[in-house]
Amino acid sequence: MKKAYFIVNLIAGKAMIADKLGKIVDELTKASFEVTVHTTQSSTDAAEAAEYACANDFDLIICAGGDGTLSQCIQGIMKSENRIPVGYIPAGSTNDFAKTLGIPKDIMSAVRLIINGRPVACDVGGFNKEFFSYIVAFGVFTNISYETPQNIKNVLGHAAYFLNGLMQITNIRSKRMRVEYDGNVIEDDFIFGMVSNTASVAGMLSMKEFVLDDGLFEVMLIKKPSNPIQLRNLVRSVMKLEGCIDKSYIKFFKTNRIRFTSIGGEPVTWTRDGEYGGNCISNTIVNNNRAISFIVNHRIVKISPESVRALVSMSDY
């Protein structure tokens, strides 16, 4: 019998997880899991709970909540010597990383995936002294996810992010940044920058170049547009609604380590997995290759050929 530590954010998304909690535990128990339930009591509680699970002989952490709750679980796991696998039940407003992992939106379908799926070792980002599952970013719109009230997210879902974003278009400020990676140095005025390992961002922006366990992050930097028409074209280019990416304004590359420094000494506010990530002058981001295993449908996630071959030969975890 596998021992599962079930970390639940009861108010994530539309708070639907609370109504199904009993059914979830029953399904897991029938599948021979011994389940211990922990409901989160604060914004950082999931990190402490995950660290506890890793240190107390549990076989699996099951996290039910949004991207922020999962990110907090990752903080605890990465600080542990015994990094146990994670099963994720997406219950937030956007659930970007769940899409990347190929986890179904339906709660009970996600539970069945945890029961029948396989663990895949995935890359985890290091952001100064913290960690992230799928994205860190600065600039325009990046504050929307953590400044939008939870009750508005619950009612409007993706539309809440879009509507709050429209309110910022007339107040775009660029950041003068030095970007250092792989022996390269870029200095320019950027309105947006992100380092990611995900299939989608905010439920809207699609990323096609990522691989979950290749040891590399995808980096996108957007320079300040010269006029409103150029801004409109940039938005269309990034959203892939038309044409190709405008390489004169948008830089896209891969790396396993990158450093951002604010030129002039003005702190820059970052978001980490949709939550507030700090206000710093300098930030170092590193890729921790294959650091945490997630239970996934290995037939549909984007992983390296070596991982595919290893999973095919596995009989159990």
- Give residue limits of the domains in the chain: 2-126+289-312, 132-288
Q: Judge whether 187 and 278 are in contact, CB under 8 Å.
A: no
Q: Which of 203, 180, 168 is nearest to 274 (CA)?
A: 203
CB-based contacts of 169, cutoff 8 Å, min separation 6 = 231
Q: What is the pLDDT of residue 174?
A: 84
CATH 1.10.3720.10, applies to 132-288: no
Domain 2-126+289-312 sits in which CATH superfamily? Probable inorganic polyphosphate/atp-NAD kinase; domain 1 (3.40.50.10330)
Q: Judge whether 54 and 76 are in contact, CB under 8 Å.
A: yes
Q: What is the pLDDT along the chain (317 residues), one digit of tens a residue?
A: 899 999 999 987 666 788 899 999 999 999 999 999 999 998 889 999 999 999 999 999 999 998 889 999 999 999 999 999 999 999 877 777 888 888 998 999 999 999 999 899 999 999 999 999 999 988 876 554 444 444 434 433 444 444 444 444 555 778 899 999 999 999 999 988 889 988 766 544 555 667 889 999 999 898 887 776 776 666 666 655 444 556 677 888 999 999 999 998 889 999 898 888 899 999 999 999 999 999 987 776 767 766 655 654 554 44
Q: What is the pLDDT of residue 276?
A: 86
In whole angstroms, give the CA distance from residue 257 to residue 244.
26
Instruction: Please indicate, yes or no, whether the overall pTM of this predicted structure exceeds 0.95.
Output: no
